[in-house]
């Protein structure tokens, strides 16, 4: 199964910071949001990693864990639960 961080409206894979990106996996959405805030792609990836570490602090590689959760058959629901659980604590 091929995985993409973002897709354009026509279904072609694009980078999350690409202007045509309109659908995102969880980590792709974090990159896009961070890039929109900073305008710096390198910083956007750093912020994505920091967000993943905050969301999943007990996992050895939080970004990969979030990507794996996202790519399971129940991934959408599971990823939303991870985000909701964090927001409830905040």
pLDDT band at 1 (very low <50, low <70, confident <90, very high): low
What share of the chain in percent tops pLDDT 70?
A: 97
**Structural domains of the chain, count:** 1
Q: Please check the confidence at residue 42 and state whether its pLDDT lies above 80.
A: yes
Q: Look at residue 81 and tell me if it is in a domain.
A: yes
CA-based radius of gyration for the chain: 13
Predicted pLDDT at 29: 96
Residues 6+ apart with CB under 8 A from 9: 20, 22, 23
Query: 65 is in which domain, residue-wise?
Result: 6-89
Q: What are phi and psi of 9, to 5 degrees?
A: -60, -25
**35, part of any domain:** yes
The reply to whether 1 falls in a domain is no
């Amino acid at each position: 199964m091929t995985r993409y961080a973002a897709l354009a409206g026509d279904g072609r894979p694009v980078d999350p910071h690409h202007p045509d990106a309109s659908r995102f996996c969880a980590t792709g959405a974090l990159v896009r949001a961070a890039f929109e805030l900073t305008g710096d792609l390198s910083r956007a990836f750093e912020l994505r990693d920091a967000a993943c570490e905050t969301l999943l602090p007990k996992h050895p590689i939080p970004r990969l864990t979030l990507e794996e959760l996202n790519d399971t058959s129940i991934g959408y629901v599971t990823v939303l639960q991870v985000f909701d659980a964090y927001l409830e604590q905040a």
